[in-house]
A and B are shown apart, each in its own frame.
Chain A
């Protein structure tokens, strides 16, 4: 059974860096495509970025200057770093799996709420 689990600090200070990890179980991270997506409280979904284990990465142009996504095949994990955060970055952050590389999301983690506050 494939599972994704987000982890990381639930509170980040304004102007600092948000760091999250997605741990994947039940499938090798080396075979598929992985994304981060976020959802501000009470609002809609926003795609952040996309990585294939070989290093092919795409970012949402609106966030590209502040985002880094990386993969650690030895730990079967991938990670998100979002720099210079503000209150507008407060959201539930989801990691997600795309089995076929078509850029839609077959399976999602449960999500983790990150609050940005001074």
Chain B
């Protein structure tokens, strides 16, 4: 069973800030990692797959990196629409999600 741990759980930031969220896997998952954005009352939306591939239509200020057990999601310049909760998901062995990181207004 692969455990996914995100940090921080909550992040306070301002519009224009560069923001980085970390996701760690309990064992190597190669690059089999996706990132999602979820807003209150809405379904998650795919942002990144295969650790660093940007989903079509997702703004280029979002980027993903890492491999093995440590991964990052970076928002280069935080926009008002980006305040949300972000989840990582491994798909190396079945599927498993991190516990989420809430990005809130500072």
Chain A residue numbers with a CB within 8 Å of B89 are: 45, 104-105
Contact indicator B97/A105 (Cβ below 8 Å): no
B92 to A, closest residue via Cβ = A103
> Counting CB contacts under 8 A, is A16 at the interface?
no
* Measured CA separation A35–B36 after assembly (Å): 16
Interface residues of A in 58-100 (CB under 8 A from B): 58, 60-61, 94
Size range of the chain A interface in the assembly: 20 to 34
A102-114 near B? 1/0 per residue, CB < 8 Å: 1111111111000
Chain A residue numbers with a CB within 8 Å of B42 are: 110
A41-61 near B? 1/0 per residue, CB < 8 Å: 000111100100000001011
Contact indicator B97/A108 (Cβ below 8 Å): no
Contact indicator B49/A47 (Cβ below 8 Å): no
> Counting CB contacts under 8 A, is B74 at the interface?
no
Contact indicator B43/A110 (Cβ below 8 Å): yes
Chain B nearest CB from A43 CB (Å) reads 8
Interface set of A (CB-CB < 8 Å, partner B): 35, 44-47, 50, 58, 60-61, 94, 102-111
Interface set of B (CB-CB < 8 Å, partner A): 1, 32, 34, 36, 42-46, 49-50, 55, 87, 89, 91, 94-100
Q: What are the nearest 8 A-B pairs in CB distance?
A: A103-B91, A108-B43, A47-B95, A104-B34, A45-B97, A44-B99, A104-B49, A44-B100
12 new A-B contacts, CB < 8 A, other than A46-B97, A94-B44, A102-B50, are A35-B95, A45-B97, A45-B100, A47-B95, A47-B96, A47-B97, A60-B94, A61-B94, A104-B95, A106-B46, A108-B45, A110-B42
